[in-house]
Amino acid sequence: MTTSELWSRAVAERYDAEETGMHSAAVLGPTVDFLAGLAGDGRALEFAIGTGRVGVPLRERGVPVAGIEYSEPMAAVLRRKADEETLPVVIGDMARATVPGEFSLVYLVYNTISNLLTQDEQVECFRNAARHLVPGGRFVIELGVPPLRLLPPGQVAVPFDVSAGHLGFDTFDLVEQILVSHHLTRDGEDGRYRRDDSRHRYAWPAELDLMARIAGLELERRVADWDGSPFVHDSSKHISVWRKPT
């Protein structure tokens, strides 16, 4: 049984509306360009495909895309954008579920590997990616760098958004390597706030590299964003590409 928290129908129905910034052309354009370049003439598989924010435009670019999604309500929202024949989706755990055929690209975007709350499951996710890849295929992960350098001694919370309609901050369990994202979102015109929390297991780039080696993958490239900007000491996230040897 996976440790991933199951996204509910209520969350699925409001997900796209609350993530409008991630749907912008400025974000999606470089993302799709990057992934399409790696997929080439092959097929792409998205782990935790969600509502199809990336998978649908990548399919529209001409790349055959399939997905694995744990939440049936999230997949149901995707179905309003693309039918099963256009973009097939398997309901299941991305660390174990399989999709028929082989792929030149498997990818995970927007921190979703952190939905797996144990190191063992994250390792199995890498192994599952390797199982699906053709020799020479790539596994891509987008993941934030843990902002622990921002924690003064004794503090366990770091804000990441303070705006009129949303307050967001992360709290950290430094022993278990778990962060909890807390969201206070203005809901409606009455000024009330809705609170949502989600748990994630953070991992450093070097730890992911070791997981890749366990799965038989080799680091090919690491950049700070989808535009290919260099990954440096103070980068807030990374896009990492591992290759399955030929």
Q: Is 13 in a helix, a strand, or coil?
A: helix
Q: Distance of CA 146 to CAs 56, 149, 231, 239, Å?
A: 29, 8, 14, 14
Phi, psi of 121 (to 5 degrees): -70, -35
Task: Please list the residues that pair with 133 across neighbouring strands.
Answer: 103
d(CA 28, CA 58): 9
pLDDT at residue 20 greater than cutoff 80: no
The β-bridge relationship of strands 178-186 and 193-201 is: antiparallel
Q: Cβ of 107: how many Cβ atoms within 10 Å?
A: 29
Q: What kind and span of H or E run contains 45?
A: strand 44-47
190 or 237: whose pLDDT is higher? Answer: 237
- 43 pLDDT band, cuts 50/70/90, is very high
pLDDT at residue 1 greater than cutoff 90: no
Mind listing the pLDDT tens digit for each residue in 93-118? 999 999 999 999 999 999 999 999 99
Q: Distance of CA 240 to CAs 22, 102, 188, 208, 221, Å?
A: 19, 21, 39, 9, 6
Report the chain's mean pLDDT, rounded to a whole number. 94
**How confident is the model at residue 10, as a pLDDT?**
86
Q: Distance of CA 68 to CAs 87, 116, 119, 184, 185, Å?
A: 11, 14, 20, 29, 28
**How confident is the model at residue 191, as a pLDDT?**
77
Q: What is the pTM of this model?
A: 0.94
Q: Distance of CA 76 to CAs 12, 63, 84, 224, Å?
A: 9, 21, 11, 32
Report the range of poorest mean pLDDT among 15-19, 55-59, 76-80: 15-19
d(CA 141, CA 187): 32
**How confident is the model at residue 167, as a pLDDT?**
92
- Helix boundaries (H) for the chain: 9-18, 25-39, 55-60, 72-79, 119-132, 205-214
pLDDT at residue 84 greater than cutoff 80: yes
Q: In what order do the strands lie in the sheet with 44-47?
A: 89-91, 65-69, 44-47, 103-108, 133-144, 237-243, 218-223
Q: In what order do the strands lie in the sheet with 193-201?
A: 157-163, 166-173, 178-186, 193-201
